[in-house]
Structure 1
C-alpha cells in the first residue's frame, strides 16, 4: 500500500523522507558496549540480501527477534528521515539480552533486477523467504535459544507476523502497528485523513486517487483480472495479501501454544482505533497480550498531539518505553 504526497511517501503506514531532508535533532540511541554485530547474508543466489546479526555479550542462552519491514522500500536500519528505527531496536534489545537480525528487503536491495523483470515481487519474495532465512540463521547461532525466537513486524510486517511465526514454527510474534482489517479499508481511512490535512490541490487529488484505489481493492472478486494493476500492484499480489487473515493466524499461533504481543501507538494516524478494535477477538486467547502506548506514533517514536507528516523528517530514536516493554515480554517464559 502506498500513498504519495508532495513532500513524502506513505508506504503501508510508513512515510519515507530522504535523510537529507531530515530535521536536525540529536538522537539518544548509542550503540551499547560489548554487543557484537556480524554481517550476514539471507536468502539464496542472486536474490540474497545483506543483513546484520546483533548479539548481546555473554554466553547465556538468550531469546532472539527477527525484524520485518512494512511494504515499500526497506533498509536494514529502517531509515526514516534521519531516524534508524530497526537499528535502534536491535541495539536496544541486545542491551537487554536479546539477539536480533535485521536486513534489507529484497525489492530494495534488488530494485534494478525487479525493474528488469517488469513485475512486482510476490508475497514470498518480499516478506516470507528472507524472514524464514533469518530464523534459520538464528537457530544455528551459538547462544540463541531456538525455542525463544520471535518475529517482530512493523506495519505490513506486523500484519504478516503471525503467518511468518506459524510458517517458521517459532515461539511467537510481536505486531508493531499492524492491522487485520481489509487493505482497501485501511487505504481509504489513511487517504481520508490525508485529504483532511492536505495543503494544496496536488495533495488533495492524490488522496482522492488513493481513496478510489481503496474502493477498487474492496471490489476485487474471484473473476477479477489477476494482472489488472490497482494502486501500483497487480490483483494477484493483492489477493495474496488478502488471503493472510491475521486474526486466524493469531488463533492458530495460540492453539499451538505460541505467544503474540499486539502493540499500538495512540498517536498513530495510519493504524487507528478501528485497527485496534479489529484485533480484539484474539485478546482473550491464551498467550496473547495487547498493549497501547499513549505517546507513540506509527514507528514507536515519542511525541505530543496527533501525529503529522512532519514526524517522518525527525531524527529521533525508537521509544525506550517500547523497547523495555517488548524486551520484558520476550524475556519472560510465558504470560
Structure 2
C-alpha cells in the first residue's frame, strides 16, 4: 500500500456539501480556497454537509491545510478555474500555485449549487509522447464501468500478435494512469518497457483521482480498486491483437496486495505482486511514521513522541470503531481500514492457484523485509517466482543509502532489470 501518498497529504477527498450557493461554480470554488487560506475553517465547515462536518470539523480542516502550507508554503495564486459538465454536475478545475509547488484543485458542484466534492492533487505532466520509430504505439481507451468511465491508455506492440498483455493496478490514494509522483511515472516506464518487448499494457486513471465525486457515500476496496481493475482486464481481453488467454494483472503496493483477488475475479492468466504489503496495514502505517520521524532530527523528541502517541490512539480507534477516522485522512473510516487489514495476501495468493511473480526493492521503507519474508515463507512451490533488488526503492528505482520521501521528488526510471524480469516471466507463461 502506498502510504507515502497518505502521509504526504498529496490529495484530499471530501464528501458531499449541502450549502446552497448564490455564486457561480467558479466563484464558489475560489471562495472555498480563500476561506481555507485565510484560516476561516469554521466558515468553511459551515458549508459542509452533516457527514462531511462530522468527518472534517474545523479543527481537522485546519490541520490538513496547515500541513499543506508546511509542505508547499503560502498560496500565491487562486485563479478562476475551468468549468465542465460531468454527469449532471459542474466541475471546476483550477491550478493553485504555492511558494514551493502547485496543486490542481477540483471542486464538483451539484445541480442544486452545492459542493459535491473537493479534491487536491499534484500538478502532473503527461508521459512523453511515444517516438514514431518505437516498436509499439499507444491508443486511448475508456473503461466503461460503475458510475462513470475512466480514461486509459493501451501500449500495443507493433506486429501481428496476438500479444500477451498486462493490466497495471495502482497503489493507495488518488493516482493517474502513470502512477505519477513528483517527476516520476513508474507505470509509464513499465508500460513502455514491456511494450518494447512484445507485451501489451493497459494503464488507467484510478477512480479516486479521476472521479472523486463517485465516493460521496464512502470508499471500499471494491469501489476504489478491485471492480475497476476487473473491468480493465475484461476490456483488455476484448482488444484486437491481444491473446485473451494470456492477460496478467500487475499490482503495485496496495494493488499488489489485491492482485491475486483481481486476477481470480477476472480469470486472468497470472498475478504479479510488486512491493505488496503482507502484514496489517496499520502496523505498516505506524512503522513508516516512526521511520520518517527518525529521519527528521529537526523535530524535537517530545513532539515526535506526542505524534506517535496520538497515532497509536488513532490506530486503536480505527481497529475497534468503523466510524473512526485519522485526522489527516478523514475520508477513510475505520470500516475501510478494517477491510484493508482483513486482506490475507498470502492466503488469497495461494488460493488463486495462479502463476505468480513477486518483486521487492531492498531500499523500500514502506513495504519492508518483514513483508517480503512473510510472502516467501507462505508461498512455496513452482508456481511462485521471487525477485529481490537490493538497490531499488518502493517505485522500483535505484538509489543509495536509506530510502526517503525526498527521493520520490528526484527524477528517475523504473530499473530496466525489473522490467526485463517481468517480460521474461510473462513470455515464459
What band does the TM-score fall into relative to the shorter chain? 0.7 to 0.9
The DSSP-based 3-state class of the residue aligned with 1:102 is strand
Instruction: Quote the offset at 1:57 in angstroms.
Output: 0.8
Pair 1:51–1:28, CA change in 2 (3 A): closer
Which deviates more from structure 2 when the two are superposed, residues 209-218 or residues 238-247? 209-218
Q: What is the match of residue 342 of structure 2?
A: 243
Q: How does 1:36-75 map to 2 (within 5 A)?
A: 36-44=137-145, 46-75=147-176
Q: What is the match of residue 324 of structure 2?
A: 228
Q: What is the match of residue 109 of structure 1?
A: 210
The DSSP-based 3-state class of the residue aligned with 2:7 is strand
Q: What is the match of residue 88 of structure 1?
A: 189
Instruction: Quote the offset at 1:215 in angstroms.
Output: 6.2
Q: What is the match of residue 11 of structure 1?
A: none
Pair 1:60–1:120, CA change in 2 (3 A): same
Pair 1:220–1:83, CA change in 2 (3 A): closer
Q: What is the match of residue 358 of structure 2?
A: 262
Larger RCO (CA under 8 A, 6+ residues apart) = 1
RMSD (Å) for aligned C-alpha atoms: 2.9
Q: Would the aligned equivalents of 1:51 and 1:103 in 2 still touch at CA under 8 Å? A: yes
Instruction: Quote the offset at 1:240 in angstroms.
Output: 1.9
The DSSP-based 3-state class of the residue aligned with 2:209 is helix
Q: Would the aligned equivalents of 2:318 and 2:324 in 1 still touch at CA under 8 Å? A: no
Confirm whether residue 77 of structure 1 aligns to residue 178 of structure 2.
Answer: yes
Instruction: Quote the offset at 1:44 in angstroms.
Output: 2.5
The DSSP-based 3-state class of the residue aligned with 1:296 is coil
Q: What is the match of residue 52 of structure 2?
A: none
Q: What is the match of residue 3 of structure 1?
A: 7
Instruction: Quote the offset at 1:98 in angstroms.
Output: 0.5
Q: 1:284 aligns with which of 372, 375, 380?
A: 380
How many pairs align?
312
Distance 1:331 1:207 in 2: 50
TM-score normalized by structure 1? 0.84
Distance 2:231 2:214 in 1: 20
Q: Would the aligned equivalents of 1:295 and 1:303 in 2 still touch at CA under 8 Å? A: yes
Instruction: Deviation per CA, 1:196-255: give whole Å up to 9, x if none.
Output: 01253399858964674466446656xx3322224531121122212221101111122x
The DSSP-based 3-state class of the residue aligned with 2:243 is strand
Distance 1:207 1:3 in 2: 17
Distance 2:159 2:381 in 1: 35
Q: Would the aligned equivalents of 1:195 and 1:204 in 2 still touch at CA under 8 Å? A: no
Q: What is the match of residue 175 of structure 1?
A: 273
Q: What is the match of residue 398 of structure 2?
A: 302
Q: Would the aligned equivalents of 1:163 and 1:244 in 2 still touch at CA under 8 Å? A: no
The DSSP-based 3-state class of the residue aligned with 1:279 is helix
Q: What is the match of residue 327 of structure 1?
A: 423
Q: Would the aligned equivalents of 1:153 and 1:174 in 2 still touch at CA under 8 Å? A: yes
Q: Would the aligned equivalents of 2:135 and 2:196 in 1 still touch at CA under 8 Å? A: no
Pair 1:45–1:250, CA change in 2 (3 A): closer
Confirm whether residue 125 of structure 1 aligns to residue 212 of structure 2.
Answer: no
Larger CA Rg, structure 1 vs 2: 2
Q: 2:290 aligns with which of 192, 209, 214?
A: 192
Gaps in structure 1 of 5+ consecutive residues: 9-16
Distance 1:66 1:82 in 2: 22
Instruction: Quote the offset at 1:281 in angstroms.
Output: 2.7
Distance 1:95 1:218 in 2: 47
Instruction: Deviation per CA, 1:23-62: give whole Å up to 9, x if none.
Output: xxxx999756141211111143642111111110111222
Instruction: Quote the offset at 1:110 in angstroms.
Output: 1.2
TM-score normalized by structure 2? 0.67
The DSSP-based 3-state class of the residue aligned with 1:83 is coil
